Amino acid sequence: LRLLGRTLTEPSDFIRAFLASEYREVVERYKAALFKALPDVPKAEIVWRFHFMLGATSYAIAGTDALRLITDWQIEDADATDRLDRLLPRLMSFLLGGLRAPLPQFPDAE
């Protein structure tokens, strides 16, 4: 998982093109499912939220360097960041909260 996360957060042009080609069909299916599940959310907003979901997921699975930095590694062993049984519920809760968030209010909106 860490390798996949790193390829999504630090890709070369070749890797970026490869991943776009490799995952195009899956991404389109996810977008279609999100459009259907969130009919009151504009499609452009869903695309942005999906982008943020991919970023958060990539960062979470790429490794724990930033977490170690901000927590000074003050985490209980039971909450070790390399445990998927702890990572996945937290990540899902965060991602679902982002999908369900109120629409943003832009300063130039009328």
Cα of first residue to Cα of last residue in the chain, in angstroms, is 44
User: What pTM value is reported for the model?
Assistant: 0.73
Give the pLDDT of residue 87.
81
Give the pLDDT band (50/70/90) at residue 9.
low
Spell 39-62 as b/e; 16+ CB within 10 A means b: eebeeeebeebbeebbeebbebbb
Average pLDDT, the chain: 81
Angle, alpha carbons 30-44-23 (nearest 5°): 30
Spell out the domains of the chain, with CATH numbers in brackets: 2-100 (1.10.357.10)
Q: pLDDT tens across 44-86, in order? A: 999 999 999 988 988 887 766 666 666 665 666 666 656 777 7
